[in-house]
Amino acid sequence: MHRGIYRPNPVGHPSPATVGHAALLFAGGGLRTRGALAGPCAAALLGLDDRQARARPQVVLGPDVHRLQPRGLTYRFEVLSAAEVASVGGLACTSPARTLQDVATTSTAADLLVLVDAGLCRGLGFVGTSGSPDLRWALENGDAASESAFESLVRAELLAAGLPRPQLQHVVRLGGGATYRLDLAWPDLRLAVEADGAAVHANASALRNDLRRQNALVAAGWTLLRFTWADLGRIAAPVRDALRRAGRAA
C-alpha cells in the first residue's frame, strides 16, 4: 500500500481502518507517538462520511519530525492537543470536532451537514467547534435522526432553498396495523419526501415493497415525492410546489 507496507490476501477495496493503519505505519505514527490521521481519512474512520473512504490519507506529525511527502499520502506538521486526538480501533486520528474544522476548509455546507448528522447519530460531540458560516450553518441544522448521507444532502438542499424544516423518520400508522416510516415529512400537510438510495431500493423485492407502501400512503391521503441521487440539485423546486399545493388544500 506504501513502500514496505503490504496488505495480505487483498480482496476488494481496503476499509478506512486498513488505509489509515497503512498510512500511520508508513509515517511512523501511532497512538504512542505523535502521528494521527486527519482530514477526509479521519472523517471516514470516525464514520462521519463513507464517501471519503477513498480519499488521500492525511497524517499529522509533530513539527520536529521531517519527512518527504510520498506519493499517495499527505503530511501535515503541527502539534495537536490531547483534546484534538481520538482513538478508533487503536488508530489515532483527529477528534470529531477537529476533523470537522479541518474538512470544512474544502467542503460545502451540504457536505458538512452530512458529517454533522452522522456524528450526532453516533453520539459524537462537536463542542467548541467554530469556523466558517457554512460550518456554523451545518452545526445549527444538524439532526441525529438522519439515516444516510443522501438524506442529509436532500435536507440540505431543501433548507438552503428556504423551505420549512421537515420532520425526519416520521411514523405513519394506518388501518390494519400497517406502520410506515417516512424519510422527511411535513405531517400537518401529509407531504413526504423519500430519499431512495440505490443500496436499499435497487432490487425487485424492494421495488415491490416500495410500491405497496406508496399505494397505501397515497390512499390514506399522503403525497409522496421520491428522489434518487441523480435528482440532487433539482429537488427543491418540486417540493416547494408540493408544499404550496398542500398548503392551499389545508
pLDDT digits (tens, 9 = 90+) for 153-199: 999 999 999 999 999 999 999 887 889 999 999 999 999 999 987 65
Share of the chain above pLDDT 90, in %: 54
Among 15-29, 91-105, 118-132, 192-206, name the one with the lowest average pLDDT: 192-206
pLDDT in tens, 75-93: 888 889 999 999 998 889 9
Binned at pLDDT 50, 70 and 90, residue 35 comes out as confident
Q: What is the pLDDT of residue 250?
A: 39
Pairing mode, if any, of strands 74-77 and 58-61? parallel
User: Quick one: which of 18, 103, 32 has its CA closest to 95?
Assistant: 103
Binned at pLDDT 50, 70 and 90, residue 55 comes out as confident
Give the Å distances, CA to CA, from 139 to 62, 86, 163, 167, 199: 30, 20, 18, 17, 27
**Which segments of the chain does DSSP mark as H helices, in order?**
16-27, 39-45, 96-104, 109-121, 133-141, 149-160, 198-201, 204-219, 236-249
Residue 65: pLDDT over 80: no
Give the Å distances, CA to CA, from 67 to 10, 29, 100, 151: 28, 12, 26, 41
CATH topology of domain 157-249: Endonuclease; Chain A (3.40.960)
Q: Which residues pair with 180 in a beta bridge?
A: 172
Domain with CATH 3.40.960.10 in the chain: 157-249
How many Cα atoms sit within 13 Å of 137 on the Cβ side? 18
What backbone phi and psi angles, to 5 degrees, belong to 70? -85, 165
Q: What is the pTM of this model?
A: 0.86
Give the Å distances, CA to CA, from 209 to 74, 203, 204, 223: 46, 10, 9, 17
Determine the Cα–Cα distance for residues 218 and 227; give it in Å rounded to an integer.
16
* Start-to-end Cα distance in the chain: 60
Residue 151: pLDDT over 60: yes
Determine the Cα–Cα distance for residues 99 and 88; give it in Å rounded to an integer.
13
Residue 32: pLDDT over 60: no
